[in-house]
Structure formats: structure tokens, C-alpha cells
Copies of this chain bind each other. A is one copy, B any other.
Amino acid sequence: MCQLLGMNCNVPTDIVFSFTGFATRGGRTDVHADGWGIAFFEGKGVRHFVDYEAAVASPIADLIKRYPIKSRNVIAHIRKATQGRIALENCHPFVRELWGHYWVFAHNGDLKDFAPPLNGAFRRVGTTDSEWAFCYLLQELRRRFGDSPPAQPALTAALRELCRDIAAHGTFNMMLSDGSALFAHCSTDLHYIVRQHPFSTAKLSDEDMSVDFSTVTTPNDRVAIIVTAPLTTNEDWTRFTAGELKVFVDGMPVA
């Protein structure tokens, strides 16, 4: 199994604090040492970093912890290999282009007997069930909606249906973003928190590190953090229910 971290904000925000706690689970406070990755949207562009080294040992993860890349949508992943060998092409998140936008996807879980036909528009490069699920999702979105993206409610309804079908094959905790929204589906473990005015101090559970967000924010900032297991010890995280798909826009879940 693996762990997921996502961030969705109304203004570009850095993820240094949350990523520092999360990356510690990649080989130090937890066992997810078979690679890691993170993708940041900046406008329509994506910065994509993957590594098959443990996040705690990776020079690139070290850079991310020191270099505050600001983004409105971020997805990160630390890997404990279940299907697919330890190799760069099997590291999440995965990136593809659909409708002239990049899409970023990461998955935690294990799918059994999951082999839907892929028509060739999106094919996996590696050997994971996760990348297969991502290619299938994009293929089905394109099949349903053709050459243009639908409005968000229709997109969400389609993703809810597709996630339910995929999750019938096993555990399908996943995060997906096209840069405008972050979609998160929970089979077993996902939690989120919305940080907004009045901001307070948060304390990491995996590192001896605190941040007083009131000193680094404006009253209009809003940030949603979505993660497999809560990252801080002194905040109220909301647990997703099994089978739930939530859509985050501008730093909060939308109905």
C-alpha cells in the first residue's frame, strides 16, 4: 500500500510544511520506501518529480522541502510496492494530456482482476494496476464527452460512476486533478482539513515542526489538505466515508 497527499487552494500556496511531514513516512516513520513523487500545477503547466529512492533519502525530495514552489493543486505519493517492480515508470503521480490540459493521478490500494480493454488512446508505460486505472479513466472520459471537457457537475458524476466501478476490484483511494479542481475518491483511508481565517498553529505528527499559519497567510487564503492519515496532531481532520468522491475547488469541498 501507499500514501497520498493532495492540496487544493484558492491562491498559489507552498506545500513545504505538509510535504515535510508526509515525506518522513517515506522510509522513516513509516514503511513507504519504494519511491515517491509529486506534481505541482502552475497555471496550465505541471512540475513533475518522481524518484524510486525513498523520499527520506532523495536529493530531489530534499529540494522540494527547501524550495517553496507555489501551486493551487498538488498531488504527492509515497510508494510501498504491491504490483509493479520498483522503477521510475511505476512511480506516482502519473501525468497525461486530455482536452489540452494535463491530468495528474495517484492511487493507493490494490486492484484485483482489473484489466479493462484500453483502445490505445492512453496506454500504460509501467506495469502497475494504478496506471492502468488512470488510462482507463481518461479513455472513458474522452469516450463519454468527446473532444471537449464537460461542465464540472457532469465530469464529477462520470468520475463518481467510474470510480465506483474500479473500486469494485479492490482498494481505490485516488487523487486526480486537471489543474482547476482536485478529485479525491476514498475506498478505505482519506482525511481532509480546510485551513482558513482565523489561521492557527499546526504541529506535524511525523516531525518536530510547527507553523503558525496566521503569520504566512492573508485573511482571504483558503487551503484544503487531503491525506491518507492526518498529518498534524492538533487539528480536526474529517474522515472520508467509504465509496465517497469529493471535489475540491478554491480550497474547499464543493457540494
1/0 per residue, CB under 8 A from B, across A44-79: the answer is 111111110000000110010001000000000000
Residue of B nearest to A63 (CB): B63
Q: Which of A2-10, A93-101, A242-250 contacts B (4 or more CB under 8 A)?
A: A93-101
* Complex contact B125–A88 (CB within 8 A): no
* Complex contact A125–B87 (CB within 8 A): no
* Complex contact A89–B43 (CB within 8 A): yes
- How many chain copies? 2
Chain B nearest Cβ from A140, distance in angstroms: 15
* Interface presence of A199 (CB below 8 A): no
| Count of A interface residues, CB-CB < 8 Å | 35
Chain B nearest Cβ from A29, distance in angstroms: 25
Question: Which secondary structure dominates where chain A touches chain B?
Answer: mixed
* Complex contact B147–A125 (CB within 8 A): no
* Interface presence of A255 (CB below 8 A): no
Chain B nearest Cβ from A244, distance in angstroms: 30
Partner of A91, one of B45, B50, B63, B147: B45
* Complex contact A126–B60 (CB within 8 A): no
* Complex contact A45–B125 (CB within 8 A): yes
* Interface presence of A197 (CB below 8 A): no
Alpha-carbon distance between A65 and B90 when the two chains are bound, in angstroms: 25
Residue of B nearest to A91 (CB): B45
Q: Kindly name the residue among A47, A87, A96, A126 whose own CB sees the greatest number of chain B CB atoms within 10 A.
A: A47
* Complex contact A46–B97 (CB within 8 A): no
* Complex contact B126–A45 (CB within 8 A): yes
* Interface presence of A169 (CB below 8 A): no
* Interface presence of A122 (CB below 8 A): yes
Q: List 25 A-B contacts (CB under 8 A).
A: A43-B87, A43-B88, A43-B89, A44-B87, A44-B88, A44-B89, A44-B126, A45-B87, A45-B89, A45-B90, A46-B88, A46-B89, A47-B51, A47-B88, A48-B48, A49-B49, A60-B63, A63-B63, A97-B122, A97-B123, A99-B123, A100-B123, A100-B124, A120-B142, A121-B121
List A residues at the B interface (Cβ < 8 Å): 42-51, 59-60, 63, 67, 87-91, 95-97, 99-102, 120-126, 142, 147
Q: A45-B88, A59-B67 are in contact. List 7 more A-B contacts (CB 8 A).
A: A43-B89, A44-B88, A44-B89, A45-B89, A47-B49, A59-B63, A97-B125
